[in-house]
Amino acid sequence: MEDKKFMAAINQICAEKNIPKEIVLETVEAALAAAYKKDYGHKEQEVRVELDEETGHPTIFVLKEVVEEVENPHLQLTLDNAVKLKKGAKIGDTIEFQEFVSDFGRIAAQTAKQVIIQRIREA
């Protein structure tokens, strides 16, 4: 689904269900984060998604702990890699960085759709 069509669908949900746009956007962002974790990440991974309210384009942010030796690449990164992302990073820090996923498309959209429907029912 194109990003602008996606935002049009969100606006339609807001109007039909009389739900504030912020609530729907938070729900969609949480659903996309869940979809990312399911399809590309790890269930314990900290993921945050921001939707551009104008375009509907999602930006994915991942948090990882800086460690000396990586035991779980979904949750940790080395100091060498952390310093490339954030100057002054040190062991024990948590680094948030943007994740680029080229095919976050259909599978993630299906997962997100299921979570969105469930959460709107709960609203």
Q: What is the CATH number of the domain that holds 26?
A: 3.30.1480.10
Confidence (pTM): 0.77
Q: What is the dihedral of CA 10, 16, 19, 25, to 10 degrees?
A: -10
- For residue 120, pLDDT beyond 80: no
Residue numbers of the domain that contains 27:
3-122
State yes or no: pLDDT of 87 exceeds 90.
yes
- What average pLDDT does the chain have? 85
- Residues 70/81, Cβ–Cβ less than 8 Å: no
- CA distance to 14, 101, 111, 120, per residue, from 70 (Å): 43, 22, 29, 39
Note whether 120 and 20 are within 8 A (CB). Answer: no
Number of separate domains in the chain? 1
State the Cα torsion 75-79-85-87 to the nearest 10°. 140
pLDDT in tens, 72-83: 999 999 999 999
